[in-house]
Amino acid sequence: MRDLLYPPVIGFAKTAFKVLDLKFRMTGTEHIPRSGGAVLALNHISYVDFVIGGFGAQPSKRLVRFMAKEVLFRNRYSGPLMRGMHHIPVDRGAGAGSYREALRYLKEGEIIGVFPEATISRSFELKEFKSGTVRMAAATGVPVIPMVLWGTQRMMTKDHPRDFSRHQNVSISVGEPIKVSRGDDATEATAQLRTSMAGLLDEAIRAYPEQPPGAWWLPASYGGGAPTPEDAERLDQEELRNRAARRKE
């Protein structure tokens, strides 16, 4: 697969990180294979998770092909970038084609980036996972690599103004690969993946250098001001209802 656009985009991102003086804490990146296919499973707390998650694969010199909602591919600005970097558009109403494309990429030795929660978590804790992540890995015989991001929600997330001020702390934590076979129960394998990522997330939050009580970007269960998972689910449902109402207008 020819990559004329991806390398300069990475170069631009790295320059932006230096300008912003982001303070990265990266652990476990050696678990990302230097060759061969893999499914990279990431938590989703920010609109910049694609960029930061892809950066986490750089120590292994790998490019990540993310599965992303197809509206990004139709946008006049993001569309050429998404297509040029060979990411995979996902139509949530008809996802079979996207799934087949992801399988093809994995068989060709690519790393596919997937957000098992599907949407951004307003609570900044893990939501329920979709099983497609482990099913793709099982179908192609590749490992699932858990990755957890923390701090990205402070830059750009739902319900809060963007903040790209300098000197922010960002952590990227990668866990040990999870092997999944065709005969494995997808529900159990998904639960195993979620448990692994929950442990990584807890460690990332506790190791984060800033822990201000009541901070909006800190989960309620850690003394922060973020919505509880239950309140976050209520907000998600309200957002879906409002979106459906706008479509009918």
Write the pLDDT tens digit of every residue in 129-177: 999 999 999 999 999 999 999 999 999 999 999 999 999 999 999 999 9
Look at the alpha carbons of 71, 243, 98, 9 in this order and tell me if their dihedral is positive or negative: positive
pLDDT at residue 246, rounded to an integer: 87
How far apart are the C-alpha atoms of 13 and 52, rounded to whole Å? 9
Helices 132-140, 96-107: inter-axial angle, 10-degree rounding: 40
Query: Which of 20-24, 35-39, 96-100 is the least confident region?
Result: 96-100
pLDDT at residue 243, rounded to an integer: 87
How far apart are the C-alpha atoms of 190 and 224, rounded to whole Å? 28
CATH of span 6-248: 3.40.1130
E strands in the chain = 23-27, 38-42, 64-69, 88-90, 111-114, 144-150, 169-174
pLDDT tens-digit readout, 58-76: 999 999 999 999 999 999 9
Q: DSSP letter string over 29-97?
A: GGGS-SSS-EEEEE---STTHHHHHHHTTGGGT--EEEEEETHHHHSTTHHHHHHHTT-EEE-TTS-HH
pTM of the full predicted structure? 0.95
pLDDT at residue 26, rounded to an integer: 98
In contact, 43 and 126? CB cutoff 8 Å:
yes
pLDDT at residue 22, rounded to an integer: 98
Give, in degrees to the nearest 5, the angle at Cα 71 between 65 and 76: 95
Q: What is the mean pLDDT of residues 74-80?
A: 94
Assess whether pLDDT exceeds 90 at residue 96: no
Mean pLDDT of the chain: 96
How far apart are the C-alpha atoms of 96 and 100, rounded to whole Å? 6
- List the chain domain ranges: 6-248
